[in-house]
Amino acid sequence: MLISFLLFTTYPLLWMTLTALRSEGDAQQRPLGLPAQWTLDNLREVFASGNFLQAWQNSLLLCSVAVLLAIATAALAAFAFAQFRFRGSNVLFLLFLLGMMIPVHVTLIPLNQLLGADALNLKGGLCALIGPYAGFALPVSILILRRAFEAIPQELLDAGALDGCSQWQSFWHIGLPLARPALSTVLIFNFLTMWNEYAFALTLLGPGCQTVPLAITEFKGEHDLRITSVCAALLLVLIPLILVYLFAQKQIIRGLTAGSIK
Amino acid sequence: MNISSQSIRQGRFRFSDVCLFLAPAMLLYAVFVLTPVGKSIQNSFLYWSSPLLEPEFCGLRNFRELFGDPVFWLALRNNFFLLLGSLLVQLPIALGIALLLHYPTWGQTFFRAAFFTPMIIPTAAIAALWQYLYEPQNGACTALIRLFRADFTYAWLATPGTSLLWIFVTICWQYIGFHTVLFMAGLSTIPEELYEAARLDGASELQICRRIILPCLKPTLAVSATLSVIGSLKYFDLVYLMGGGLPETSREVLATYVYRLAFDENQGRYGYGSAVAVFLFLLALLIVIPLQLRKPDRN
């Protein structure tokens, strides 16, 4: 059973790789098995023609900004939820948690109006996505970071307070350094979620400004009949992801499951 | 000591600090999540005769239309198909694999990493890849069956009754590994002594599984089930992307219907689309809140 499931998981990726490395005629004649003749032409062609480099830049820039914004604001709020006792804190926290249940599609239409030409006029550019990405990243981030801040030994914070730390200083000098593992978890989770996000990008970005997922679908639409080219494009997009995954596999798995394991 | 440290902290605690810490997140959340949800509810009571004109209030008209709309019911049914499928197919398979991996074997890390791989791949790429696997003439699925039946051809994604089934197989490919990892984490928290005690008492492996593993895994199962339910209610990407030239309605789910109503060419039906979206949101709340509320009294 393990082996058959391993085949189920890996065969599609293997098939994609092999198809990217064969000639188009070969792919039409014998889709299975090893290529009759190995070739790098498809990869070279995609690399030269596609606008994947631009899409990579866009995605990298967008995700970095949005992740930083989300983490900075979430860390502040999570610290407040963990360390301050104030009236309404539970209600506010629940309100944030509610966000995990909100399907993003409920907000597509209003956000389209909000960011459209009549209001903020950000639609079509990368800036349009920063707000929605960061906003929807908050619930999980606050949940994970609050747990981390609550785990900080009270004595440390008390010692800080005795030495005259302000709340801000105890956040900056005690809270953040001690929450570093949780911060990296949140960073990985949000970055990958945003990197792969499709619905918002599809709705709010315009032609000429694409993230990686949009570039993939557009490339597939234009070269639909050339299986080898599209597989080569997919391979190009996946290689960096898989490489990062090989090296940071433990952290990534922990990051992507952290929100769910209590 | 405790009392004095408490008073120190309380003395330094100022209301302005709370505001300072919470304000940025609140602002971001309010503008980009809460307000849009509120706006969606408001929109669902409005009627646009054209996307360019001002909308007018129309009461419950959108909701009345909703309940008489066959596409809506079809989409809802499809959502429930995905929901039941993920609960009854994905989770048991994931649990089985996690159990197999739990017995001290070699290569646990390897299998875990391999099964988890689809989670890091953009769904846009998954959709493109699987569309080729399902290609009627020379996709890998067709070619594999041709090894046994030479003239086999089948339009996997373009056959109305079954296209959603094949999309579901792809969804399984995407998520089973994720649930497996969750279950493995849950299994690793069960203390070794419990097994040893049971074995000493002469329990069979099956009994151990039923009496020890499953009860201990309950919290993990609840988490997995909740995630599956929310996930399958708001499922969008693969269903939208793996169209295959079929009349869209036959594999429509609620989220894709919202998108199409509002943004497809010649549609721009913001009011009606919002009504579908609001229904989707309420449905999610209705199903998930009881699941969440049950948790505390069990612990």
Q: What is the pLDDT of residues B148-159, one digit of tens each?
A: 887 888 888 888
Q: What is the pLDDT of residues A110-153, one digit of tens each?
A: 998 888 877 787 888 889 999 999 999 999 999 999 999 998 88
Q: How far is B205 from chain A (nearest CA, A)?
A: 18
Q: What is the pLDDT of residues B22-52, one digit of tens each?
A: 999 999 999 999 999 999 999 999 998 777 7
CA distances from residue A89 to A169, A235, A255, B61 in whole angstroms, order as listed: 22, 47, 26, 38
Mean pLDDT of B268-279: 90
The percentage of residues in chain B with a pLDDT greater than 70, rounded to a whole number, is: 89
- What is the rounded CA–CA span in Å between residue B75 and residue B272? 15
pLDDT value of position B299? 35
Report the SS3 class of residue B107.
Answer: coil
Q: Are residues B11 and B155 in the same domain?
A: no
Q: With 50 as the cut, is the pLDDT of residue B135 above it?
A: yes
| Interface touch B40/A2, C-beta < 8 Å | no
Could you tell me if residue B39 is inside a domain? Answer: no
pLDDT value of position B295? 53
- What is the rounded CA–CA span in Å between residue B176 and residue A130? 30
Chain B CB contacts of A13 under 8 Å are 117, 129
Nearest to A221 by CA among A241, A242, A207, A203: A207
What DSSP character marks residue B56?
E
Q: Are residues B2 and B117 in the same domain?
A: no
| Interface touch B128/A6, C-beta < 8 Å | no
Least confident piece of the model among A144-148, B97-101, B137-141, B251-255 = B137-141
Q: How far is B18 from chain A (nearest CA, A)?
A: 6
Q: Judge whether A249 is closer than 8 Å to chain B, CB to CB.
A: yes
Please tell me the total count of domains within chain B. Answer: 2
Q: With 80 as the cut, is the pLDDT of residue B10 above it?
A: no
> Of how many residues is chain A composed?
262
| Interface touch A73/B182, C-beta < 8 Å | no
Architecture of domain A57-204+247-257: Orthogonal Bundle (1.10)
Domain residue ranges in chain A: 57-204+247-257
| Interface touch A2/B138, C-beta < 8 Å | no
Q: Are residues B63 and B99 in the same domain?
A: yes
- What is the rounded CA–CA span in Å between residue B74 and residue B72? 5
Domain housing B28: 1-34
Report the SS3 class of residue A205.
Answer: strand
Tokens of residue A89, six digits = 């804190």
Q: Are residues B123 and B21 in the same domain?
A: no
ipTM score: 0.89
What DSSP character marks residue B191?
-
- Nearest chain A alpha carbon to B270: A109
Sign, CA dihedral A100-A101-A103-A109, equals: negative
| Interface touch B116/A253, C-beta < 8 Å | yes
- Nearest chain A alpha carbon to B122: A196
Q: Are residues B168 and B68 in the same domain?
A: yes
- What is the rounded CA–CA span in Å between residue B91 and residue B98? 10
Task: Give the residue with greater pLDDT, A210 vs B244.
Answer: A210
| Interface touch B112/A132, C-beta < 8 Å | no
For the whole prediction, is pTM greater than 0.90?
Answer: no
Nearest to B116 by CA among B216, B184, B186, B166: B184
Mean pLDDT of A68-81: 95
Q: Are residues B21 and B60 in the same domain?
A: no
Could you tell me if residue B249 is inside a domain? Answer: yes
* Beta strands, E only, chain B: 46-47, 56-57
Tokens of residue A13, six digits = 């990726």
Q: Are residues B157 and B106 in the same domain?
A: yes
Exposure of A40 by Cβ count < 10 A (0-12 exposed, 13-18 middle, 19+ buried)? Answer: exposed
CA distances from residue A122 to A119, A138, B78 in whole angstroms, order as listed: 8, 21, 35
| Interface touch B17/A76, C-beta < 8 Å | no
Q: Which of residues 118-177 of A touch B (CB under 8 A)?
A: 131-132, 134-136, 138, 142, 154, 157-158, 161-162, 166-168, 171
A74: nearest CB among B25, B258, B280: B25
Chain A CB contacts of B37 under 8 Å are 102, 106-107, 110
Q: What is the pLDDT of residues A200-248, one digit of tens each?
A: 999 999 888 899 999 999 888 888 888 888 999 999 999 989 999 988 8
Least confident piece of the model among A128-137, B1-10, B186-195, B230-239 = B1-10
Tokens of residue B201, six digits = 């008492």
pLDDT value of position B85? 94
- Nearest chain B alpha carbon to A203: B263
CATH of the domain at B222: 1.10.3720.10
B182: nearest CB among A28, A110, A260: A260
Q: With 70 as the cut, is the pLDDT of residue B246 above it?
A: no
pLDDT value of position B157? 84
Q: Are residues B14 and B122 in the same domain?
A: no
- What is the rounded CA–CA span in Å between residue B13 and residue B5? 12
Could you tell me if residue B262 is inside a domain? Answer: yes
Q: Are residues B189 and B224 in the same domain?
A: yes
How far, in whole angstroms, is CA B46 from its chain's centroid? 30
- The answer to whether the beta carbons of residues B123 and A196 sit under 8 Å apart is yes
pLDDT value of position A73? 96
Work out the pLDDT band at B4, boundaries 50, 70, 90.
very low
Q: Are residues B22 and B114 in the same domain?
A: no
- Nearest chain B alpha carbon to A27: B138
| Interface touch B115/A157, C-beta < 8 Å | no
Nearest to B283 by CA among B233, B237, B236: B233
Mean pLDDT of B10-33: 82
Q: What is the pLDDT of residues B173-226, one digit of tens each?
A: 999 999 999 999 888 888 888 888 888 888 888 888 888 888 889 888 988 998
| Interface touch A216/B233, C-beta < 8 Å | no
Nearest to B74 by CA among B192, B208, B250, B228: B250
pLDDT value of position B298? 40
pLDDT value of position B248? 62
Q: What is the pLDDT of residues B86-116, one digit of tens each?
A: 999 999 999 999 988 887 667 888 898 999 9
- What is the rounded CA–CA span in Å between residue B167 and residue A198? 17
Report the SS3 class of residue B268.
Answer: coil
CB-CB neighbours of A225 under 10 Å: 9
pLDDT mean across residues, chain B? 85
pLDDT value of position B105? 66
pLDDT value of position B247? 62
Q: What is the pLDDT of residues A81-99, one digit of tens each?
A: 998 888 888 899 999 988 8
Task: Give the residue with greater pLDDT, A58 vs A163.
Answer: A58
Work out the pLDDT band at B160, boundaries 50, 70, 90.
confident
Task: Give the residue with greater pLDDT, B243 vs A141.
Answer: A141
Mean pLDDT of A38-50: 83
Mean pLDDT of A27-46: 83
- What is the rounded CA–CA span in Å between residue B287 and residue B254? 15
| Interface touch B24/A136, C-beta < 8 Å | no
Chain A CB contacts of B186 under 8 Å are 261
- What is the rounded CA–CA span in Å between residue A133 and residue A144? 17
A159 dihedral zone (left: phi>0; alpha: psi -120 to 50; beta) = alpha
Could you tell me if residue B7 is inside a domain? Answer: yes
Mean pLDDT of B52-70: 88
pLDDT value of position A87? 80
- The answer to whether the beta carbons of residues B94 and B179 sit under 8 Å apart is yes
Mean pLDDT of A15-41: 84
Tokens of residue B53, six digits = 């004109």
Chain A CB contacts of B15 under 8 Å are 86
Q: Are residues B10 and B111 in the same domain?
A: no
Q: With 90 as the cut, is the pLDDT of residue B121 above it?
A: yes
Work out the pLDDT band at A261, boundaries 50, 70, 90.
low
Q: Are residues B170 and B225 in the same domain?
A: yes
| Interface touch A6/B115, C-beta < 8 Å | yes
| Interface touch A9/B117, C-beta < 8 Å | yes
- What is the rounded CA–CA span in Å between residue B188 and residue B195? 12
Tokens of residue A49, six digits = 């023609």
Mean pLDDT of B273-284: 92
Q: With 60 as the cut, is the pLDDT of residue A164 above it?
A: yes
